[in-house]
Chains A and B, each alone.
Chain A
């Protein structure tokens, strides 16, 4: 018995030493107390109804449990929020800003961090951070190679998947090269969103990861234009070969992933792309896709990243925003998020760190044939440094926009 207690104590102290909370339990209580009655303006992309409904549900939870309100400001593009905070800073509005919490990652996070537009570090202060794997180099601590440094708190996993219909395609291609070959046999049935959109850029990054001679260089900033052109020559050769076989002969591209999904749904395309592994299952549930729609990944893995929430430096309701970020990490909330009946997005929690009761909730989540198991999603490839994306989209435009 005494040994057991000792082990518990040791493990508790271990956990604390890893996450190194800046706030004690009483301090956190004061954050919760101050948040009571606040209205948290959560700026989050509003194009997905299931996500919107989930955010609405989180709002109801926050109301009953903490007495705080969440107002979902539906963005058409996360960059809207970034430029809003930027212009607030430029105008000297250093407190009482209009945004309390942003759903963010990648280039938008990079922009905000570089411009010192973020509050924090705050992640380690969240009591529920103990359920996260925050060890050095884990996906929760690096966002598109940019160290998170506690400035944003994870809430859902994103993984690049392709959508197809089993009734049309028996065996989906297992790599980008094979996808290109597939297009040459099926001209006009494949495309990607415009690379000015992040999903279009992701398609190019995924191809580059597969084709580049040494993928590790992508983890560092682009050194020079010369280096970039040298390393990406193989990508452009491949793309030039494939382009005439793309939808509309590669002369026009869907504006974003939603338009592409719609084209897929209309039978104009045989593949669509998404960062949400549950997209096929959710689409079937909503009556959008046919029942035989599935997702697949490439055999060598696909790009993956974590969606975070961040608090702007001038947020009016920082306490409330932290409480919401913490609430999002609650095992029950995460389990509902992973439940295909509601959202179907994979959890960011480290299931090993949960108690058996919480883990059981995850084990008992319903499944549907269209929902991949997390082990079916294969290896997760690391996002390249943001500068590669910038160069890729610019070079693509230079080559193919006339």
Chain B
């Protein structure tokens, strides 16, 4: 017992050093660079104080406000849509075509979805081309359908991408709640289906999905990829504003930008706090509301509509991705043609030599990262102590810190540290950096199945004299293969999509599909963008499809195992 305790601690310490070490080093370096900045450019009107410079950036308050509003609204809407979708389709979801739609959007990187959406809804996009072909107006309308100042299109893009992720997470956690028996009891008491869920099941789901929901929240508040394509421009959201400062030729803006990165972190933490307080309030008043016990009909009316809406949202997303594919094969497709004037492989052929070169490296990095993440996660689950509240709630939250902190804020500092140690530009450094982002997802996906594994299995095995390693290899692993495969798929898709970590830490020496793709996508050729978005969506999708079919193959004549693992 004593031994297990020590080993568990060792694993945890290792994880924290490996995952949080780089973050804190990077942040620390950032703070140092803020205060150690020498003051040049001392011309009138330019202050050398980074904080002062940051606060005097025009539009900062608007940027902060739009960051907050888009991030919070996108998260709340996504949560609501995903929950209701799961409620209505709970039993049928796995077998239907909806799953294909969900995985397709789930695996596609944010930037691919954003690019696809602009193909669809921009004033010169497909929708308006369709309208123009009927009503015959000459020029695209001069209106905000993307990049609107309030960030509506950004919210739409985030919702399209986050709803499938949340559905995925909810499906995984619902299996831990005896939904059927709750529903039977509640319905026997005269509540309709919608009320059963709202009153009984959702409050139980929330603690299980809180962490992924916060991940979505943090991403929505601080993402760059989607905001730069769909978000407001003058001023942009805070993250894009900071990126502009980091990428300004004027190196004196680096220090204020670093302060801004700290501000972005505070912003995320502040919203977390607000959400937590809301949860406390809901818990308090929810109990009173439950006790009152009225049977409101309103939810029964809203639910079907909401589901139709989430359907539309996902169809929108899938159609956007489809448009990217069409663009990649078109040779001429100018306004106002609804369909491409000619189709060809020319763009693919032209880009192939470039992309094939980087595809191998991307897959290698993604595989190595995912493999190490899975090994570390298994080590964690093997050694963790369940009864400890710290282990159950706080530690997983800590692991997700990389997902909560804006990348640009600590990567610059982290690379300085890597430079000092000679690690910058090495494969090891890049894989390590990817691990920061891959590990939390792998952990989230694997945690529930591993923790809810029937403890009697291992007790029986121990009683029969089977050691821990043998138990892991021959009992647990075969049962938990689906969770490992799902984690691999997510891990690979997360790693493939990483742009800034590869760019900063790879020092330009290590190029992946995504760095190549983003560099190309700064050009103005829609067909190239189409190729880029298609490829970016395709590679992770293959990983997902692979995971799905492998687990189906394995379970083909072991159907009894499915029940044990869930």
Interface residues of A (CB under 8 A from B): 41, 43, 45-49, 52, 73-84, 86-88, 90-93, 98-99, 106-108, 110-111, 114-115, 187-189, 194, 196, 198, 221-222, 224-226, 247-248, 251-263, 265-268, 286-288, 290, 387, 390-391, 394, 397-402
Contact = CB atoms under 8 A, between A and B. Distances in A.
Contact of A265 (B139, B334, B417, B509): B334
Contact of B528 (A49, A81, A222): A49
Interface of B: 33, 40, 43-45, 57-59, 62, 122-124, 139-140, 142, 144, 147-149, 228, 232-235, 244, 246-251, 254, 331-332, 334-336, 350, 354, 412, 415-417, 419-420, 424-425, 503, 507-509, 511, 515-516, 518-520, 522-526, 528
B419 A91 contact: yes
B522 A258 contact: yes
B522 A397 contact: no
B424 to A, nearest CB: 7
Contact of A98 (B232, B254, B507, B520): B507
B129 to A, nearest CB: 10
23 contacts: A45-B522, A47-B519, A47-B520, A47-B523, A48-B523, A49-B523, A52-B354, A52-B520, A74-B515, A74-B516, A74-B519, A76-B518, A83-B412, A88-B424, A90-B33, A91-B417, A111-B249, A115-B251, A222-B43, A248-B142, A259-B524, A260-B524, A268-B140
A87 B419 contact: yes
B416 A287 contact: no
A106 B249 contact: yes
Nearest to B515: A74
B499 to A, nearest CB: 9
Nearest to A247: B142
A138 to B, nearest CB: 24
Contact of B419 (A93, A107, A187, A248): A93
Nearest to B140: A268
A108 B334 CA distance: 36
Contacts of B520: 46-47, 49, 52, 74
A84 B508 contact: yes
A252 B419 contact: no
Contact of A252 (B233, B254, B518): B233
B233 A255 contact: yes
Nearest to B143: A248
Contacts of A251: 149, 234
B144 A248 contact: yes
Contact of B332 (A110, A256, A257, A287): A287
B416 A387 contact: no
Nearest to B244: A196
B246 to A, nearest CB: 7
Given A41-B508, A93-B419, A258-B523, A108 B249 contact: yes
Given A251-B234, A288-B524, A83 B254 contact: yes
Contacts of B43: 221-222, 224, 387
Contact of B251 (A111, A189, A268): A111
A43 B251 CA distance: 18
A289 B88 CA distance: 48
A34 B538 CA distance: 44
A401 B526 contact: no
Contact of A268 (B123, B417, B523): B123
Given A49-B350, A74-B516, A252-B232, A86 B251 contact: yes
A78 B144 CA distance: 30
Given A251-B149, A253-B234, A268-B140, A87 B412 contact: yes
Contact of B144 (A108, A187, A252): A252
A84 B503 CA distance: 10
B509 A98 contact: yes
A41 B509 CA distance: 8
Given A76-B247, A111-B249, 13 more contacts: A47-B520, A76-B522, A83-B246, A83-B254, A87-B412, A93-B419, A252-B149, A252-B233, A260-B524, A267-B124, A267-B335, A399-B58, A400-B234
B115 to A, nearest CB: 11
B26 to A, nearest CB: 12
Contacts of A115: 251
B524 A261 contact: yes
A258 B524 contact: yes
B69 to A, nearest CB: 15
Contacts of A267: 124, 139-140, 334-336
Contact of B524 (A87, A106, A262, A390): A262
